[in-house]
Structures are given as C-alpha cells and as structure tokens.
Amino acid sequence: MRVVYCHDCATAQLDFTVKKEVMFGDHTYLSGVTQSLSDHFRAVAGEIDLRFFAQSARKSVLDIGSNDGTQLKHFQALGYEVLGVESSKTTAKIAADAGVPTVQAFFNREVARAWGRRFDVINAAGVFFHMEELHSVAEGIREVLALNGVFVVQFLYMKRIVENLAFDQIYHEHLLYYNLQTIERLLNRHGLALFDAYLAPIHGGSIIGFAAHIGRQPATDRLVALRRAEDAAGSNTLAIYRDFAVRIERMRDENLDFLGRAKAAGKRIYGLGAPVKGNTLLNYFGVGTQYLDCLVERNPLRGGLVSPGMHIPVVLEAELPAPPDLYYVLAWNFKDEILARYAALQAQGVEFYFPVNPKDV
C-alpha cells in the first residue's frame, strides 16, 4: 500500500484500488455500535434541519453509504422521508429490518438516474473517500440534489491526519485523502461548491462540509477561515507529506520501545478494538502476538476473526475471562467514550495506551 501525491491537484491518494465489490460487497463495520458516532450523527441531522429545512412540510434525505441506518434514523425522528444506499448486503439488511428504507447498491450516476427524483439533503458520511467511481458518484449527486438542496460531505481531514500522526487512517478502503482545497476542486468540476464547513472532533478531526449547486450559496466566514489556515500550514504541499513520513518512522520506534518494555515487565497486553485502520498500524509497526494476546471487540460481527497480516485473534469483550494489565487502544478515535466506559478498570489499575493521541479540535 502506497500513498502518492498528485502534482496537479495536490490530492494524496492510493496508487492501488481493490475492486469495490471485494472491499464493500459485504463488511462488518456497524455505525450503531459506537455511541459517540451516533451522537455525532444526531447533532448533524439536527443542525441541517434547523438551518435549512425546519419550516418545510415535506423534506427528504438520501444517505450514500448508509451502513446500518444510524444517520437516517435521526433524520426519521425529524420527519424526513429517508432513503439509504448501502453496498454491503448484511449491513443493508440490518438497516432495512430496522425500518430504514435501504437500496443495496453501489451509488453512481446510473443508480441515481434510475430513481427519477431529487432530494433536499444528500449525506455522505465517511464514504466520499472510498469511491472507486468517484466522478460518476459526484455527477450522480449533482443530478439528484434539489435546486435548493444541501449536500453534506463528512470526511477525515488530511490536515488533521498529518497533525495527529494518524497514519493508520490510511488503508485500502480510503482511496483519497482530502483537504478543503482538494475536495473543493472535485466538487467544482461537477457543478457543486462548498459554502460552509467546520472541523468536528469525530475520528480525531473530520470536516463537516455543506455544498450546493454552484452559485446558490455564498461562502461563510468560517469556511474562508479554514481555507486560510490550510494555506498557512502548507497542508497541500509535497514537503508536508515528506515530513509526515519521517515523523511516522519516529512514532513506530517509540511504540515498539513502549511495548517491548511492557512485555519485559511481564504485563499481559490486549489490543482494544479491531478497527480496519488498526491493521495499518499493526502491520507497519510489526506488532503481532509477540506483544498482543488478542484484540477485544464489542461488534458481534467480528468475534472469532483474526487481524489481516498479523493474525491476532479477535475476542468479544463479553467472552473475556479477565481484563489485561494493559490495553493498547487501536480504536483511539473514540478515546473519550472508551475512557468513560472503562473507568472502573482504570481504577483497578488497568492501563490504557493510545498509540495515536489526537489534539483537541
């Protein structure tokens, strides 16, 4: 897996694509497992409704990559007609069984045109950097977005990934890594334009961007301020990524030293969480069962699996006979929720180590 830099548009991206049918035809990620993510989705739905559609008698939303329907449930509670598009068979069925209308498909221009309708809101949370058919998807969004509609794009902010050394957020599902400059260039190419954005703490720092058809909305002051901060930091230069690589190597050495000292002291170490991103870190660091006895998960779809590459067994939390001495937290992006949930274990002396420790937003 390699990250490359485009000298034309300054987008960081992978140079290899795993076919979408293999990557996303059926997967185990469930949005609803994490309370802080559900809370974030509730806040986003409430903000969209309050700002743009609170007075509308009828209002509709399309969620691209709708997963188990967590985001759409919050829109349903606000009176929206909802439709989800989810590529994963198992996940789409979970959403449909929960009362969230869901089409099992890969969204693109052809799928969009087949509906023959438009939506007031189109949401894409944590999926816009996954798109193998990127330009077809963007064109499909433009075609089904109502004239005065709002496209809400939620994405990991590459500026924050670099600042936080969160290199584990680079993995084969994520084909592109956006800053504001790069995503705006893409949207503009397809007749859309950001008019507002803010940085949210979810996943260590994500942009919540609001786009409309070009010319429909003026840019807000906070969007202009974010653009200026990005330019001042040099976030779209090749030099910033070369420095990123050097800092990651230093981080690897520090983590291996910590784990080595913990094992030498006789500590039993478990990984906390088995997120996809954790495999980037585990494989690049070379952390396997010589350090971690297992990875502990709450998601029932992941019990009994092993981590790709390092082959660390995944054990469901409810099946653990006893806690470890040390949790090496791979699901670091939910740090606050984790520390609150396991306060009693911390009081008993169980240590929680976060290999990535994001700065406050």
pLDDT per position in the chain (361 positions), as tens? 999 999 999 999 999 999 999 988 887 778 887 888 899 999 999 999 999 999 999 999 999 999 999 999 999 999 999 999 999 999 999 999 999 999 999 999 999 999 999 999 999 998 889 899 999 999 999 999 999 999 999 999 999 999 999 999 999 999 999 999 999 999 999 999 999 999 999 888 999 999 999 999 999 999 999 999 999 999 999 999 999 999 999 999 999 999 999 999 999 999 999 999 999 999 999 999 999 999 999 988 889 999 999 999 999 999 999 999 999 999 998 898 899 999 999 999 999 999 998 877 6
Its pTM stands at: 0.91
Helix (H) or strand (E) holding 67: none
Other beta carbons less than 10 A from residue 56's beta carbon: 12
Q: Residues near 243 by Cβ (< 8 Å), separated by ≥ 6?
A: none
Q: What are the φ and ψ backbone dihedral angles of 210, each rounded to 5 degrees?
A: -120, 120
With beta carbons less than 8 A apart as the criterion, state whether 359 and 162 touch.
no
Other beta carbons less than 10 A from residue 88's beta carbon: 22
Q: Judging by beta carbons within 10 Å of its beta carbon (0-12, 13-18, 19+), is residue 24 exposed, middle or buried?
A: buried
Other beta carbons less than 10 A from residue 224's beta carbon: 11
Q: Residues near 167 by Cβ (< 8 Å), separated by ≥ 6?
A: 161, 244, 248, 251, 280, 281, 284
Q: Judging by beta carbons within 10 Å of its beta carbon (0-12, 13-18, 19+), is residue 180 exposed, middle or buried?
A: buried
For the chain, where do the domains classified as CATH 3.40.50.720 start and end? 257-353
For the chain, where do the domains classified as CATH 3.40.50.150 start and end? 3-236
CATH number, span 257-353: 3.40.50.720
With beta carbons less than 8 A apart as the criterion, state whether 255 and 233 touch.
no
Q: How far is CA 129 from CA 102, 157, 196, in A?
A: 21, 11, 19
User: What is the rounded CA–CA span in Å between residue 347 and residue 285?
Assistant: 30
Residues in the chain: 361
| Beta-bridge partner residues of 353 | 328
121: alpha, beta or left, given left = phi > 0 and alpha = psi -120 to 50?
Answer: beta
In this structure, CATH architecture of domain 3-236:
3-Layer(aba) Sandwich (3.40)
With beta carbons less than 8 A apart as the criterion, state whether 37 and 26 touch.
no
